Amino acid sequence: MNAAKIAAIVLIVAGVLGLAYGSFSYTKQTHDIKMGPIEICAVLLFSLTFIAALSGPSLIKGLIAGLLGLFCANVGLDAETAVPRLTFGFVDLQDGIPLLAVGVGVLALSEMMLQIEASLTAPAGTAEADAVRI
């Protein structure tokens, strides 16, 4: 199967799922309005459990990733009271952390860690070992 066929299949599946989600959005909105603090806490605990289950053998890494995601999601103005949370006095952070900045930062951080690991595991005296100095 070539890439065009796979892209077409994915596009069709995404379109069908989008239509299904759009048709049930009114029902979802009326249900979401009824959610209180206890239900929201339960959804957050479920999401952390789900992240931990998908993280594989390293449970601690999965939980740290989930908590880091919750920390990043809390930056900005509170939706109900408009009180700044975790902005540290920066007006630019009142809208939250930009998704593009987080994406580029995560990719750059993973690449830096891969380069450091490669330099630490390379034999001494090679170009790879001398490329990164800690």
Residue 45 has pLDDT above 80, yes or no: yes
Statement to judge: residues 28 and 43 lie in one domain: no
- Contact (CB, 8 A) for 75 and 87: yes
Band the pLDDT of 121: cuts 50, 70, 90.
Answer: confident
| pLDDT, mean of residues 122-126 | 70
Statement to judge: residues 58 and 85 lie in one domain: yes
> Worst-scoring range by mean pLDDT, 27-36, 72-81, 123-132?
123-132
Statement to judge: residues 24 and 47 lie in one domain: no
Per the prediction, the chain carries an average pLDDT of: 81
Give the pLDDT of residue 119.
Answer: 79
Give the pLDDT of residue 68.
Answer: 85
Statement to judge: residues 26 and 50 lie in one domain: no
Statement to judge: residues 90 and 57 lie in one domain: yes
Statement to judge: residues 8 and 60 lie in one domain: no
Statement to judge: residues 51 and 6 lie in one domain: no
Of the candidates 66, 96, 102, 98, the one whose C-alpha atom is nearest the C-alpha of residue 79 is: 96
Statement to judge: residues 26 and 58 lie in one domain: no
Statement to judge: residues 25 and 62 lie in one domain: no
Residue 48, helix vs strand vs coil: helix
Number of domains in the chain: 2
Statement to judge: residues 9 and 55 lie in one domain: no
Domain with 96, as residue range(s), is 37-131
Per DSSP (E only), the strands in 4-126 are 76-77, 84-85
Statement to judge: residues 27 and 44 lie in one domain: no
Statement to judge: residues 102 and 73 lie in one domain: yes
Give the pLDDT of residue 130.
Answer: 61
